[in-house]
Structure 1
Amino acid sequence: MTQLPQADWTRREDLAQLIAALGADNTRYVGGAVRDSLLGKDIHDIDCATPLLPAEVIDRCKEAGIRTVPTGIDHGTVTAILPGGNVEITTLRRDVSTDGRRATVAFAQEWKEDASRRDFTINALYAHPETLEISDYFGGVEDLEAGRVRFIGDARERIREDHLRILRYFRFQTRFGDDWDDEATSACGELASTLKGLSRERVGWELQNLLNLPDPSPTIFMMRELGVLQEVLPESGKREAEKLAELIRSEREFGVEPDAMRRLAALLPPVPAVAEAVSARLRLSRSQRERLACVAARDMRDGDAPLALAYYEGVDCARDRLLLTRADPSVLEGWEAPQFPLKGGEIVERGVAKGPQVARTLQAVERKWVEEGFPDRTRVLALLESELAAL
């Protein structure tokens, strides 16, 4: 019998208090915390499963002085608010009906029945909170050791239950897989068109999670080969996929952390209108939209020096555009754009009539100031006199 390693999180006092309230035999750690502990990875979120109904979970926690929030009570999920980090507790479930986007569930009493409705074998691992013994109903431990991501049961059936599992498969394969599972990839390619029925927010969220991983480029190429990428990002062609691979090499070469928006920009042609359309479709935030549009305009001003580019476009956008051209962005670290030490009123005081000429003069002096590397005000005034003399 496989056991969960004695990790720090399993010895949390507040977690022990929660387990005592619910009853150890009524509780199992499940999902990511179990999977990642077996791999020796850091644990950020803890999920528990229980046959107890949500109302009883709330009552037992209340008696133990543990505050709860009914975060997803319609689907059986209650969140326990603990000092060491919140824990989601979900009542065992079985699917009553599914349509690929949402499921109607009923509560269950059997651990295996709950496990059978999950997506991948490596996510259906349950650990007893006291003995730490792992219940593995579908060979998930063996798959984890082999670097294999498999759907539970028939892959096509699992995908028809929830179409988003196609994108989840590619994300989990990037994180945990060594070799591609033929049944899984075949099913994902065959059912790729079902992704069109999903909310764009869910698709955008999955794409960002995938692109934030260390190296998703081989996965992106596989998604293109299977026709999956074309369903969620039709603007991205082979050239853009190759651009992503180049970008990831640049990030590694210059020691820059992965960033989903930068990588999404690499997967799009350098056309601001395309970036805006994709941003709207994926329901990106305003700041994400602005950044994507800025990087999409990378053929403009990219002949400028790095600090000049950062002055005009912002440090984040400049860093992205430098990396996309395989240039070292380290000069931007800790740099803050200086304030241009000249106002329009000073130009008026020198005899230029108020109007467009003042703005043109100000812009001309500012451009030369940037080109010269942001010299002090004395030099700016000299540049102004030169510009006025030229008028």
Structure 2
Amino acid sequence: MTDSLGQRHWMTAPATVAVLDALEAAGGADCARFVGGCVRNALVGRSIDDLDIATTLTPDQVTKALKAAGIRAVPTGIDHGTVTAVSQHIPHEITTLRRDVSTDGRRATVAFTDDWCEDALRRDFTLNSLYARRDGSIFDPTGHGVADAKAGRIVFVGEAEQRLLEDHLRNLRYFRFYAWFGQGAPDATAVAACAKLKDRIDGLAAERISKELLKLLAADDPRAAARLMAEAGVLEVVLKLPANLARFEALVEVEADQLFECDPVLRLAALLPDDQVAAMALATRLRLSNPDRDRIVAALAPTPTLKSWMSPREIRREVYRSGLAVFRDRAKLAWAASPRSATTMQWRGMIALAEGWTRPELPLTGQDIMNAGVPKGPLVGQVMREVEDWWIDNDFLDDKLSVIEKLKAVAQGMVY
């Protein structure tokens, strides 16, 4: 019996039907099939994020077929056979069947083919080497893709080492797919190959490494995958720092228990040692975005130390000083690093209080300070900071007259 997905809504959507009709008008029935992630995800009951289509048509033929049907064709990866069809504002990535001619582990030279099996043999894992016709019937060239997908087995197509030598990023992809789809014990052959060839990762572009790492950390529960990476020596190659697996695993547990959103950037911070200089160096080396870099460095600030028993007044002070986002990140990391005891309500309450508090503005302006007799210049800022410190220590006193009285006293002491 042929495995089938049945007729899924994304297969029969008007935009998708228009693309398939255009391709088949040029190449005949069954010249185009769904491939990869959409087939895999549908098979295991996951949501469909992208629609990828494989075809026997060449990129030129694809482009002509789409234009003839009035569908916009974008040459997003023409050298590797990829054209994106934008049908009713929905992108469909269409790639010509390929075989590798040569590869150095970072980029490949490909030749086009009309052989579906040949195309499948150059893909990474069996669960990604699945094709589905428009009627939903599945074509499984390796003979193992459907079973592996359903069982949560992440297995390389053919020889694991050969697949890794063709593309060094597949080393990280192995652990990413294990985090997202893996069940049970990992494939020993695959892990051994990843461990053997782990140093090849260093030759990859930093952006490719960081993108794959953050995708891995975005899985619902990436703890087993991270441990496996560490055991294989791959995590050390990526981070070049000792990994704080205990805090990372505790953070994932806290997120799950408290229904917090999965947060790959904070999870990366949790994996790192409490060293802002080292964190900055890692973020720079991996070319993380400036916001992600700054967030990780701020989350790993050594002071002030956050404790679950902080008073509301202390919490408000720290939120004012660091900002809500930084405070929340630091609180979650401190929570993850704390002993697993009956303090959950305290940590949760602490974050809830911070989130429910509206940060006030100091009721004082530079003009107020100069009106108090402080000459324009650096002294204005110095007086402002001293009054602000007093105001914070008084729990953000909502009384401008008292603030002005304090200003007068500070100004008098500085000016005279």
Same fold, TM-score > 0.5, yes or no: yes
With normalisation by structure 1, the TM-score equals: 0.93
Unaligned runs of 5+ in 1: none
**Range 118-127 or range 304-313, more displaced:** 304-313
Aligned to 2:225: 219
The one-letter code sitting in structure 2 at the alignment partner of 1:71 is: T
**Map 1:99-110 → 2, pairs under 5 A:** 99-110=104-115
Tell me if structure 1 keeps the 8 A contact 2:83–2:95: yes
The one-letter code sitting in structure 2 at the alignment partner of 1:6 is: Q
* CA shift digits 1:8-38 (9 cap, x unpaired): 2112011111111111411100000001011
Q: CA deviation at 1:335?
A: 5.2
**Range 366-375 or range 32-41, more displaced:** 366-375
1-structure distance, mates of 2:290, 2:357: 24
Residues 1:337 and 2:359 aligned together:
yes
**Range 212-221 or range 192-201, more displaced:** 212-221
Aligned to 1:176: 181
In 2 relative to 1, CA 9–372 (structure 1 residues): closer, same or farther, beyond 3 Å? farther
The one-letter code sitting in structure 1 at the alignment partner of 2:139 is: S
Q: 1:196 aligns with which of 202, 209, 219?
A: 202
Aligned to 2:39: 34
In 2 relative to 1, CA 251–306 (structure 1 residues): closer, same or farther, beyond 3 Å? farther
- Give me the CA root mean square deviation: 2.0
In 2 relative to 1, CA 108–18 (structure 1 residues): closer, same or farther, beyond 3 Å? same
2-structure distance, mates of 1:118, 1:86: 22
Secondary structure at the aligned position of 1:25 is classed as: coil
2-structure distance, mates of 1:74, 1:313: 48
Q: CA deviation at 1:357?
A: 4.4
Q: CA deviation at 1:144?
A: 1.2
Q: 1:369 aligns with which of 391, 397, 400?
A: 391
Tell me if structure 1 keeps the 8 A contact 2:372–2:407: no
Aligned length: 388
The one-letter code sitting in structure 2 at the alignment partner of 1:359 is: G
**Range 55-64 or range 339-348, more displaced:** 339-348
Secondary structure at the aligned position of 1:149 is classed as: coil
Aligned to 2:84: 79
In 2 relative to 1, CA 49–278 (structure 1 residues): closer, same or farther, beyond 3 Å? same
Unaligned runs of 5+ in 2: 336-346
**Range 246-255 or range 8-17, more displaced:** 246-255
1-structure distance, mates of 2:208, 2:358: 35
Secondary structure at the aligned position of 2:262 is classed as: coil
In 2 relative to 1, CA 165–343 (structure 1 residues): closer, same or farther, beyond 3 Å? same
Aligned to 2:316: 307
**Range 355-364 or range 260-269, more displaced:** 355-364
**Map 1:41-60 → 2, pairs under 5 A:** 41-60=46-65
* CA shift digits 1:265-291 (9 cap, x unpaired): 111122221121111101111212211
Q: CA deviation at 1:301?
A: 6.2
**Range 74-83 or range 211-220, more displaced:** 211-220
Aligned to 2:271: 267
With normalisation by structure 2, the TM-score equals: 0.88
State, as a whole percentage, how many aligned pairs show the same letter. 43
**Range 108-117 or range 244-253, more displaced:** 244-253
Q: CA deviation at 1:389?
A: 7.2
Tell me if structure 2 keeps the 8 A contact 1:306–1:322: no
Q: 1:132 aligns with which of 122, 133, 136?
A: 136
1-structure distance, mates of 2:190, 2:394: 57
The one-letter code sitting in structure 1 at the alignment partner of 2:353 is: V
2-structure distance, mates of 1:363, 1:127: 66
